[in-house]
Chains A and B, each alone.
Chain A
Amino acid sequence: MVLSLNSFLLVSGLLFGIGFFGVLLRRNALVIFMSLELMLNASILALVAFSRYNGIMDGNLFVFFIITVAAAEIAVGLAIIVALFRKRQSVMVEHLSSLKN
């Protein structure tokens, strides 16, 4: 039986790990943000899988809040990145590491 809770959690863990290393190892702020989205997606998959296999609805409802928070975060984060790009002409995090100037 491949279609079990464990397989869904394995996929979720793989996605979370990939996003985690994307955040750690990339320098481009936009790619870092996309990796954050990947981690949120992994948590969505884990929540829905637990919710499905426990026969309860709460996990599916948390997904709404996750998606909303992700949308708000992306809007604000991209606005900050654009403002920083106008200031520094770069989106690489080593050039954005100080708040001075």
Chain B
Amino acid sequence: MSFPRNGFLTRWSAVDALFIVFAVLTVLPAFLMVVARNPVNGAIFMIISFVGMAALLVLLEAFFLAILQVLVYAGAIMVLFLFIIMLLDMDEVEKLRPKTVTALASVVGLALIVLGVVYLLRADGLSDQTFAALQDAPDFPSAEQPMEFAIKTKAYGFGLFTKYMLPFQMVGVLLLIAMIGVIVLSKKRDQSVAVEST
């Protein structure tokens, strides 16, 4: 079951309207987050943007990832952000006038992004050759059959514990490293420094 890959705006359906709504719900709060003066407002906009992203993942039939997005990103990570923002309690006003080098780099980056989007939106921006190359890519650990797209969570577990076993374990080690690093960073120094700072 695959979608036909036609151009833009040839035929509309209800799913297309939903896609437009979710895309606006994702992109607009992201933009508002970048221009918001108050970081707390920015974090709230960011949560809205993550929920819109989860809706887009539902449209792509990745239901498990959508739930994971809401739980981990909108739940855990943004709560951590809000906690830190409110803990630090910055009363310093931010100058929004960037330096010259930064402005130049931004203009160059904007040009590159516009070029990329123009290339993408041409009639054959992504040709069928690209897709054929992707389809014929060898399955590196040489499984008997490449993993087909599936909706059930079982498929995620199967892939994660067969083809991607080593990255999976490395990610576990990475989480351990991050935990130890945070403990070391937030540990109190020896007694003299602590007395000096209070």
Contacts and interface: CB of A to CB of B under 8 A. Distances in A.
Given A13-B117, A56-B148, A68-B175, A24 B8 contact: no
Contacts of A44: 53, 57, 65, 69
Given A8-B60, A55-B2, A72-B174, A83 B33 contact: no
B102 to A, nearest CB: 6
A84 to B, nearest CB: 10
B174 A41 contact: no
Contacts of B95: 27
B131 A38 contact: no
A35 B109 CA distance: 15
Interface residues of B, number: 95
Contacts of B126: 5-6, 9
Contacts of A5: 3, 5, 126
Contacts of A38: 30, 33-34, 46, 49
Given A41-B50, A82-B186, 5 more contacts: A53-B2, A61-B160, A65-B171, A83-B186, A90-B90
28 contacts: A1-B6, A4-B8, A19-B30, A19-B34, A21-B106, A22-B34, A24-B106, A25-B102, A31-B36, A31-B39, A31-B42, A33-B81, A38-B30, A41-B73, A56-B146, A61-B159, A63-B65, A64-B156, A67-B69, A67-B72, A67-B73, A70-B73, A71-B178, A72-B174, A73-B178, A74-B80, A79-B181, A92-B92
Interface of B: 2-13, 15-16, 19-20, 23, 26-27, 30-31, 33-34, 36, 39, 42-43, 46, 49-50, 53, 56-57, 59-62, 65, 68-69, 72-73, 76-77, 80-81, 84-85, 87-88, 90, 92, 94-96, 98, 102, 105-106, 109-110, 113, 116-117, 120-121, 125-126, 131, 134-135, 146-150, 155-156, 159-160, 163-164, 167-168, 171, 174-175, 177-179, 181-182, 185-186, 197
Interface of A: 1-11, 13-22, 24-28, 30-31, 33-35, 37-38, 41, 44-45, 48-58, 60-61, 63-65, 67-76, 78-83, 85-86, 90-92
